[in-house]
Each structure stands twice: as C-alpha cells, then as structure tokens.
Amino acid sequence: MPDFDPHTTALILIDLQDGIVAGDKGPRSGTEVVATCKALADRFRKAGAPVVLVHVGFKKDELPSLNADTASLPADGTPPAFAKLVDGLEQEGDIVVLKHHWGAFIGTDLDLQLRRRGIRTLVVAGIATNFGVESTVRSGWELSYDMVVVEDGCTSRAADLHDFAIERILPNIARIVKADAIGI
C-alpha cells in the first residue's frame, strides 16, 4: 500500500458512538474496532491529516422513510445518548458530522468540508461495514474520491454481513487495507 499524502487524505470514522458500539458484532467487537480506529486517528492527527468523526441520530420528525419490510429505526427517533461519540475519540481539531441517514454525505456538509481542504482520498472505517461504512464509501466514490476501507477497523452485526461487503461489494469501488499497512 502506498503512503498517503496527509495534505490530500482524510480519515473518516463512521458511527463510533455509544448507541452503536455496544452489542453483538462480528467479525470483531465494537471495542476492538474503537481501539483500532483511535490508534489510526492518532496517526492521522500526528501527520496533520484531517480526522472526521461521523455519528448518527434520528429525531422523530427527521426520520427517513420507515416503509420497509424490516425497518430498524425507532418510530420515535433515538435518545440523545445514542449519538454520543465514544469517550476519548474526539480530539481538538477533528471535524464532527452528525448525519441522519446511513451514509455520511447525504444531508450533511461533509463533501464541502473535504473539498475546501483539498482532500482527494478518503480512508474509511467504523460500524457497520455493510450499512454506514458501505453507504459512505459508495457516495464518496460517486463523488470521485479515491476510497480506502480499513478492514480491521470495521465490523457489522454479524461476520457474514461484514465479509460480504468487504469481499464482494467494496473492492469494486475502494482499496481494502489493514490499519498497519497505512502509511501517512
């Protein structure tokens, strides 16, 4: 994996928040993903590259459509504590984005913030691989960013969901790497 230019590369961490990190995950726990992502964020910060922390929350009057066979959002929205970033993640200078959908781009100013900084490559990790991470990577690719997914910085509700996204979907639009292989 080539080294990334910290002036044109940003780290995007998806949904590392109290309401999502806890609970059953696979192929790794939410706690393991948070540890990997915190270490990666420290490396990006030291290199002077932007770190973007994306979290999600839903208010009753801002919910996306619940007309789905297995809609998983609460009709009354999520409590404020749901969207709280995990302790110790956010550092001074980080960009924090609150989203109201799976992906980090729709309905936010993330693209604007990245383009103003001259960012062309996005390194993405977080929870869940096949929901927030995959949706963000798809949108980023559609916006012509070079996309990189940190496999060991991601997990999902179950290992097979993570594996399908990592093996079948994301390689078509991104490079898949391990955290230790990232040079910045």
Higher pLDDT, 106 or 66: 106
Measured CA to CA, the distance from residue 60 to residue 49 in angstroms comes to 36
Instruction: Provide, rounded to the nearest whole percent, the portion of the chain with pLDDT above 70.
Output: 96
User: Is 1 a residue whose pLDDT tops 60?
Assistant: no
User: Is 76 a residue whose pLDDT tops 90?
Assistant: no
Q: What is the pLDDT of residue 50?
A: 98
Domain extents for the chain?
9-65+77-181
User: Is 75 a residue whose pLDDT tops 80?
Assistant: no
CATH of 9-65+77-181, one of 3.40.50.300, 3.40.50.850, 3.40.50.2000, 3.40.1110.10: 3.40.50.850
Average pLDDT, the chain: 94
User: Is 91 a residue whose pLDDT tops 70?
Assistant: yes
The three-point CA angle 181-162-111 to 5° equals 70
Phi, psi at residue 155, to the nearest 5°? -160, 170
Q: What is the pLDDT of residue 60?
A: 75
**pLDDT class of 21 with cuts at 50, 70, 90:** very high
